[in-house]
Structure 1
Amino acid sequence: MKKVAQQIGRYKKDAFACIGLTALEVIMEILLPFITALIIDNGLEAGDLPAIYRYGALMVVMAFLSLFFGATAGKFAASASSGFAANLREAIYSNIQTFSFSNIDKFSVPGLVTRMTTDITNVQMAFMMIIRVAVRAPLNLVFSFAMCMIINVRMSLTFLIAVVFLVVVLGTIMVTTLKIFNQVFRKYDDLNASVQENISAIRVVKAFVREKFENSKFAKASDSLYDLSVKAEGLLAFNSPAMMIAVYFCIIMVSWMGAHFIVDGSLSTGDLTSLFSYIMSLLMSLMMLSMVVVMISMSMASIRRIEEVLDEVPDLHDPEDPVMEVPDGRIDFNHVDFSYKHGSGKNALTDIDLHIAAGETIGVIGGTGSGKSSLVNLICRLYDVDEGSVCVGGLDVRSYDMEALRDQVSVVLQKNTLFSGTILENLRWGDPDATREECIEACKAACADEFIDRMPDGYDTRIERGGANVSGGQKQRLCIARALLKKPKVLILDDSTSAVDTATDAKIRAAFAEKIPGTTKIIIAQRISSVESADRILVLDEGRIDGFDTHENLLKTNAIYQEIYGSQVKGGGDFDQPA
């Protein structure tokens, strides 16, 4: 709760203003039935018309004051709750930006989306009710009961029976529904996951005619959420009948006892009228409190989920005195062991001892799951090793400032991502200050200029979200150009030319040799033609080094490389080359 409450920040003043104004609103409302009793007893029954005017005018003034206090309190409540929600979203988003890949792996993307939407909305509504209704209802209850005690102590005691009854019933409902709401929010994650997966892969769904299956999967998640929601709301529905029982019990008791007291002369008609008003005010306050408890019950589940994100501490930290400059592109793996879950015993990489000189071009090849992507993720410190060390420029990557290191280690990952905006705006992710001419040069090196020039607006053509309006090969070339704009000391291409033909792939590699000769280049590929011209080729098998030599030597000595070469070249050629 503490970290969540801290996000109220500068909106504390609005929250306290709302509480104060709500208290004044309640005082005005509590005094109105008392004035009504005076009008009846001192005005109507006494036949005193001026008294009726005086008390009537006072009631009008108090009603307008109550309206003013209530409207102003509502305005402050809206400001405080909306600001609180905005601060929470910013805090969660900022913390997510500091996460390493291992931190992000703990939370599903749909789970994070639910936390920033549904969960924060629940907390926002609960906070508004706390500073508005949760202040108003208890004050109303206490003041109403105090006024009842002033009017008639014996009749006021009957309210306690109704209060005890409501507390027991509502308390039982709240405890039960809280457990159900915890499950409901987990089901929201499943529903969001189903929607996100379907929409992001809609082309695949349609290509394989799997709409019925996806509809069935979504319906299953939706029905599960429906069943739990109905169960929770069904229990909450008992609030209203329990409230009505308490209200009618009090009305009957006050009517019966009040009649006796009026006959005895110990109670006036005006006092009895006031008692009925205070009864309804008191019981409605209990009803409002039950609504607050429901909302708080829902929000407690949401608060715990929000706190999980806010409390998550990034696995990777900058050292106390970080190195701010990478000397060169040398890369050394010194007997490295790495697993995605530390201590699990399931290594993605085992005993990797590898030394690459600055400016070398290294090809990396191996089967699926052999550890190729894991290897390059360690170079730019997206993860930390379990054992051994990874050095760039002769220094352990853990001694660098992470931003400085990643500025000099440019990575084009397997999954290429473009953002909504123009081509130029996407390219300038690599260098925000890059000139148009520099962007064009980078595109020429990545062989992206040929299709950009054919676009209606050239470099000002708008890219849709996720790069939906460009092909896979075009997206890859734009991402390579973006990486080149960083002018890195190390360039990593993680299977990032898989969607381009071999002729274009060869042009890109030739441009690398010409444009960035001093940059260390690591090219992960599935096809021999992409790596055979590299200075050396690394062959990985099940997270271990199986071979590290030139293309010619590996063809003579390495069985895995021979098998890959044979299947691709002798077995019929690359996908766009003749057999």
Structure 2
Amino acid sequence: MLKLFKYLSPYRLPIILVLFLVFIQSLSDLYLPTMMADIVDKGIVGEDISYIWTIGGVMLLISGVGAICSIAASYYSSKVAVGFGQRLRSKVFRHVQNFSLQEFDKIGTASLITRTTNDINQVQQVLIMLLRMMVSAPLMCIGGIIMAVNQDAKLSLVIVVVIPILVGAIAIIALKGLPLFKVMQVKLDTLNRVLRENLTGMRVIRSFNRTEHETKRFNDANVDLTETAIKVNKIMAAMMPVMMLVMNFATIAIVWFGGIRISDGEMQVGSLMAFIQYATQIMFSLIMLSIIFVMVPRASASAVRINEVLDMVPEINDPKQPKKGDLEQGFLKFEDVTYHYPGAEQPAISNISFEARPGETTAIIGGTGSGKSTLLSLIPRFYDVGSGRVLIDGVDVRELTQEQLRAKIGFVPQKSVLFTGTIADNIRYGKEDASDEEIQRAADIAQATDFISEMKDGFQSEIAQGGGNVSGGQKQRLSIARALVRKPEVYVFDDSFSALDFKTDSKLRAALKETTTDATVLLVAQRVSTVMDADRIIVLDDGSIVGIGTHRELMITCDVYREIVSSQLSEEESA
């Protein structure tokens, strides 16, 4: 957890101020019982009213200073902790933005969300406690012992006996409870993952009548987390009753032996009252320390998880000296490319070589799992090739910065993703400074204008979270418009027409052909009708290229392509 505290560097002055305020507050709390003893022993017993008023006034003043310091310390400690949490969340978020898909696969989305929210919140809460208590608790404990000894050294032997008992009880409870906090965080990850899958897959769950199954999954994860939380809280709940029991017996012992010393004339009543208060302060300071000992390990478990994210080095990094292309813009080339997913025995794609030129449409077709989407993911460096090279404009994509590279590409993913906001905002996501005319033109080409104009507010109509208020085909057309408004050198369509009807598909491809005359178009599709007019068709099978050519050429030379065509088209259509 100390490793994370480097993010507190901008808050040095407020932290020093908090520690100073807590120090003053603690001194005032320690001094008040001694003054109360003086009022009793000198003012009340001596019937000196003026002394009572004088000391009472000083006590009010000291109490007021202590209260002001306490309020100010709470304010600044909260401000420091909240600022620390904000900086840390921003740091984690920015770091995660640099992750490749491999890092996301390693940690998992649900775990990343938990680490960015719940785990950072745990560290933030402990920081508030530390700022308030790491000075106050030791000072009150040590100062209380000194002041108690000052009131009566012999009676202090009661405290000497009680403190080891309290420390032992805290240690036993902490050792049993703390390991379970780490387990709780893992189980919270599991609960988040189940909940996320349930919410995002609601349509599938309902369509297959799997509501009860998913409810059981959630309940199992929920009960598992709850049982662990109850177990931890039962252990920790024992701490307060044990400590209060010890404190009460200590108070009884102090009153018992203190009464004897008063009757023997070795102690005054005011001193006994002050001694009881100091004993109480010592006990409560130990309780405060026990709370810190409970919360710090729990926060440490969270800090370890946060550090795992921050220490994870992205496998895909920008080169120190990026290059510039020396060929025509948009020229794309694969040279003997092979890629393995981490842990996989067989490569997802192997020995892939082809060229895609500006003004041409290169289509990729193949069966499920043939490596089509994997191949496209290597172009914008979502993954890096295992061997071989992917070149744009004659430069290896690994020798360009990710920003340089992706500025050249208009990527339309297989699963359309829309963001909360207006339709115009979603299209403008491809180009921040796009004008209304550019947005309109992109929507026209993507065949999206008709359904947009039918919506209540047109381009200013709101898109619900995840695009829940538009159909699959409408999502795809908006995703295509988002890529078109970018006017990139290379268009990459990863099965982006699958939700479109044949008529819209045909009109969209015709409009694209007119628009992308100067750009390179890569198109993955399942439909033969979508790819048969392409300048070049690449046929993939089990991660390898088994055919390259036009539709007519492949019908003659490629058995795999003929099988795909015959499964979708009649003899007349395939001709």
TM-score in same-fold range (> 0.5) = yes
Deviations 1:47-88 (A, max 9, x none): 211111111111111111111111111111111111111111
Deviation at 1:380, TM superposition (A): 1.3
Q: CA deviation at 1:346?
A: 3.2
SS in 2 for 1:389: strand
Paired AA for residue 566 in structure 1: S
Instruction: Give the total of aligned pairs.
Output: 573
Q: Does the 8 Å CA contact 1:324/1:404 hold for their aligned counterparts? A: no
Q: 1:434 offset after TM fit, Å? A: 1.4
Match of 1:75 in 2: 75
Note the residue ranges of structure 1 that are not aligned, 5 or more in a row.
Answer: 575-579
Secondary structure in structure 2 of the residue aligned to 1:132: helix
Q: How does 1:342-491 map to 2 (within 5 A)?
A: 345-491=345-491
Q: CA deviation at 1:3?
A: 4.2
Moved more, 555-564 or 228-237: 555-564
> Are 2:191 and 1:191 equivalent residues in the alignment?
yes
**Bigger mean CA deviation after superposition, 467-476 or 253-262:** 253-262
Give the 3 Å change call, closer, same or farther, for CA 233–562 of structure 1 in structure 2.
same
- Give the structure 1 partner of residue 180 of structure 2: 180
In structure 2, the residue matched to 1:65 is 65
Amino acid at match of 1:429: Y
CA contact (8 A) 1:133 1:289 kept: yes
Whether 2:513 is the aligned partner of 1:513: answer: yes
Deviations 1:210-231 (A, max 9, x none): 2211111111000000110011
Deviation, 1:330, is: 1.6
Displacement after TM superposition at 1:136 (Å): 1.5
User: 2-side partners of 1:48 and 1:442: how far apart?
Assistant: 92
Query: 354-363 vs 277-286, which deviates more?
Result: 354-363
3-state SS in 1 of match to 2:454: coil
Q: For residue 12 of structure 1, report the CA deviation from its aligned partner.
A: 2.9
Residue number in structure 1 paired with 2:338:
337
Residue 241 of structure 1 and its aligned partner are, at CA, apart by 2.6
Question: Which one-letter code corresponds to 2:211 in the other structure?
Answer: E
The range that moved more, 359-368 or 204-213, is 204-213
Q: In the aligned structure 1, how far is the partner of 2:272 from the partner of 2:462?
A: 74
Contact 2:324 2:395 (8 Å CA) reproduced? no
- List gaps (5 residues or longer) in structure 2: none
Q: Is the 8 A contact 1:174 1:297 kept in 2?
A: no
Between 250-259 and 306-315, report the one with greater CA deviation: 250-259
SS in 2 for 1:153: coil
Secondary structure of the residue that 2:150 maps to in structure 1? Answer: helix
Alpha-carbon offset, residue 11 of structure 1:
2.6
Report how far residue 154 of structure 1 moved: 2.3
Q: Which amino acid aligns with 1:209?
A: N
Alpha carbons of structure 1 residues 43 and 449: separation in structure 2 relative to 1, 3 Å: same
Match of 1:16 in 2: 16
* Structure 1 contact 194–218 (Cα < 8 Å) conserved: yes
- Aligned equivalents of 1:573 and 1:173: distance in 2? 77
TM-score, normalised relative to structure 2: 0.96
State the distance in 2 between where 1:325 and 1:334 align.
Answer: 17
Q: Aligned pair 1:95/2:95, yes or no? A: yes
Tell me how far apart the structure 2 counterparts of residues 561 and 344 of structure 1 sit (CA, whole Å): 27
Q: What's the CA shift for 1:9?
A: 3.6
Q: Is 2:286 the partner of 1:286? A: yes
Deviation string for 1:475-514 (max 9, x for gaps)? 1011111101111111010001000011211111111221
Q: Matches of 2:339 and 2:13 in 1, distance apart?
A: 50
Structure 1 residue runs of 4 or more that deviate by more than 3 Å after TM superposition? 324-327, 343-346, 570-574
Alpha-carbon distance in 2 for matches of 1:2, 1:127: 11
**Whole-angstrom distance in 1 between the partners of 2:448 and 2:490:** 21
1:577 aligned residue = none
CA distance in structure 1 between the aligned counterparts of 2:332 and 2:164, rounded to whole angstroms = 73
- State how far apart, in whole Å, the 1-side matches of 2:559 and 2:160 are: 87
The equivalent of 2:134 in structure 1 is 134
DSSP 3-state at the match of 1:539? strand
Q: Whole-Å Cα distance in 1 between the matches of residues 128 and 2 of structure 2? A: 18
Structure 2 counterparts to residues 111-122 of structure 1, below 5 A: 111-122=111-122
Shift in Å at residue 324 of structure 1? 5.2
User: Offset at 1:110?
Assistant: 1.3
Q: Letter of the aligned partner of 1:348 in structure 2?
A: A
1:103 to partner: Cα distance: 1.6
- The Cα shift of 1:259 comes to 2.4
Question: Residue 345 of structure 1: CA displacement?
Answer: 4.1
Alpha-carbon distance, 1:573 to partner: 8.5
- Within 2, Cα distance between the matches of 1:155 and 1:9? 46
TM-fit CA distance, 1:254: 1.6
Contact 2:162 2:246 in 1 (8 A): yes
1:389–1:410: structure 2 CA closer, same or farther, 3 Å change rule? same
Secondary structure (helix, strand or coil) at the match of 1:365 reads strand
Deviation at 1:255, TM superposition (A): 2.2
Higher alpha-carbon deviation: 299-308 or 4-13: 4-13
Other-structure match for 1:32: 32
Match of 2:202 in 1: 202
> Within 5 Å, which residues of 2 pair with 1:237-252?
237-252=237-252
Counterpart Cα distance in 2 of 1:277 and 1:3: 39
> 1:205-224 alignment to 2 at 5 Å?
205-224=205-224
Letter in 1 for 2:102: S
Displacement of 1:201: 1.6
- Identity score, percent: 37
Provide the rounded CA distance (Å) in 2 between the counterparts of 1:305 and 1:331. 40
Q: Does the aligned pair in 1 maintain the 2:427–2:485 contact within 8 Å? A: yes
Number of the residue aligned with 1:153: 153
Whole-Å Cα distance in 1 between the matches of residues 258 and 337 of structure 2? Answer: 87
- The answer as to 2:555 corresponding to 1:548 is no
Of the structure 1 ranges 302-311 and 237-246, higher mean CA displacement relative to structure 2 is found in 237-246
C-alpha deviation, 1:135, in angstroms: 2.2
Deviation at 1:378, TM superposition (A): 0.8
Aligned residue type for 1:339: H
Deviations along 1:142-198, one digit per CA (max 9) or x if unpaired, are: 110110111222221321222111212211222222210101011111111111111
Cα gap change, 1:549 to 1:3, in 2 (>3 Å): farther
TM-score by length of 1: 0.96
